[in-house]
Chains A and B, each alone.
Chain A
Amino acid sequence: GSGGFRKRKHDNFPHGQRREEKENVNPPSALMSSFKSFQLELDTRHDKYERLVKLSRDITIESKRTIFLLHRFTSAPNGEEILSESEVKLDAVRRKIKQVAQELIGEDMYQFHRAISPGLQEYVEAVSFQYFIKTRSLISVEEINKQLIFTAEDREETTNMTSNSHDKEPHTWSLKITPVDYLLGVADLTGELMRLCISSVGNGDIDTPFELSQFLRQIYDGFTFIGNTGPYEVSKKLYTLKQSLAKVENACYTLKVRGSEIPKHMLADVFSTKTELIDQEEGLP
């Protein structure tokens, strides 16, 4: 028979023949026993991955809640309260991150990076948002990483996971945010700042929008400086960033032009219609 096989149904095989192979395999051959160990290895890895994904989801949810909480922050008297509450929440998030760090001890962080990346980005967003509200400036990667060192204070270069071999007791873990995660988190932050800007207008706060528009412009300039040399995801965010910036700039423009004419309580109306539009465009809560 040279080639020319017709597709045959399986029924063509007498049943007796098919049991044979089962018996051949029963004595554990070298191949089977090596596959047994592969099974173990893969299962271990998948379990770890799933645990990390779950942690990452929790981190995402908690961070989002923190951001919502911070949105209620208006220079109102309870501002301090909200800030301290957000701090408590972020501590809870950090505890989760600590668990992530523990999972990753002795592992190559990049192997599981995709499992934890979304959570870390969201955390960056929350932490930088809080930082902005406090200080009106942008938190640095180093600043973030400093808060992610658990049970010790020392940190080595180049490793994402540190277990100190020298001069400290061997219980130091730190999780380092990768630069890309940081950038993406900051890009998301701009969306939050845009909302903050619109809502502050609604509250009749005339100064904040101008501060924000300046701040956003700086971030935007930073991103355009990176341009398309960065990873693909960053370029995608750049577009959204541009939109956020435009919205904030327009808000400032409106304020400038009409601020002198319209009484404050009516400003709120003008912008509340705008906010609805923005929410529709965002598509994501």
Chain B
Amino acid sequence: QEIRKEVQALEQTAREILTLLQGVHQGPGFQHIPKKCQKAREHFGTVRTQMESLKTKFPADQYYRFHEHWRFVLQRLVFLAAFVVYLESETLVTREAVAEILGIEADRERGFHLDIEDYLSGVLTLASELSRLAVNSVTAGDYSRPLRISTFINELDSGFRLLNLKNDSLRKRYDGLKYDVKKIEEVVYDLSIRGLNKEATVGAGGEK
């Protein structure tokens, strides 16, 4: 019951961060990206305090007993953190960095940690968000961003293909990744066919 209360608070914060970051999809939002990331990072401060109080609500060694309660919100927070980091530096956030942003541990030995499957789920959400961003940045007249996103997502896709996934929710989410890859390919294709990109050849692949 108490866990649920904490998780609801976390969800609320997550929604605020998301709303904030949604701004980048609107035309003029592109100039404000650094500022928005700044603000988002402030919100993550709130997340950290909420995590702290969540940690006190159950015995440390029973993480997986209540895992289901916060699993969803944790995945969402991973995505948000990854999104911020991508917007700032265009790289994939590491698991350790996410854990740090959320104020939790990277491995199980040290307490409330970030489960690898939750981390990967969050990363997959990032992929679909970026394919949206690619579309919208073209609309906003930013023609170079889609190419960078394309490279990034393709690398992500290769990364995921290294994994042997079981038939679980993660696998289902991963199956959605190829559509994101395809979507971005189409954007890149549209750009290159109209000569809107400076590089003649753009790496695009990952179709299965």
Chain A residues in the interface with B (C-beta under 8 A): 1-3, 5, 8, 10, 12-13, 16-22, 24-25, 29-32, 34-36, 38-39, 41-43, 45-46, 108-111, 113, 158-160
Q: Which of A5, A16, A38 contacts B120 (CB 8 A)?
A: A38
Contact with A along B190-208 (1 / 0, CB 8 A): 1100100000011111110
Q: Which of A2, A18, A35 contacts B163 (CB 8 A)?
A: A35
Q: Which of B94, B183, B187, B204 contacts A17 (CB 8 A)?
A: B204
Chain B residues with CB below 8 A from A25, complex form: 154-155, 158
User: How far is it, in angstroms, between the C-alpha of A160 and the C-alpha of B108 when the chains are bound?
Assistant: 16
User: How far is it, in angstroms, between the C-alpha of A42 and the C-alpha of B162 when the chains are bound?
Assistant: 11
Q: Do the beta carbons of B155 and A24 come within 8 Å of each other?
A: yes
Q: List 5 A-B contacts (CB under 8 A).
A: A1-B138, A18-B205, A29-B155, A108-B63, A110-B63
Q: Which of A3, A20, A34 contacts B94 (CB 8 A)?
A: A34
User: How far is it, in angstroms, between the C-alpha of A155 and the C-alpha of B67 when the chains are bound?
Assistant: 25
Q: Do the beta carbons of B159 and A31 come within 8 Å of each other?
A: yes
Q: Which of A8, A24, A32, A36 contacts B203 (CB 8 A)?
A: A24
Q: Closest chain B residue to A6 by CB distance? A: B186
Q: Do the beta carbons of A113 and B64 come within 8 Å of each other?
A: yes
Chain B residues in the interface with A (C-beta under 8 A): 59, 61-65, 67, 91-92, 94-95, 108, 116-117, 120, 135, 138-139, 151, 154-156, 158-160, 162-166, 183, 185-187, 189-191, 194, 201-207
Q: Which of A18, A43, A158 contacts B164 (CB 8 A)?
A: A43
User: How far is it, in angstroms, between the C-alpha of A8 and the C-alpha of B183 when the chains are bound?
Assistant: 10
User: How far is it, in angstroms, between the C-alpha of A180 and the C-alpha of B65 when the chains are bound?
Assistant: 12
Chain A residues with CB below 8 A from B95, complex form: 34
Chain B residues with CB below 8 A from A24, complex form: 151, 154-155, 203
Whether A159 touches B203, Cβ cut-off 8 Å, given contacts A32-B158, A35-B163, A39-B163, is no
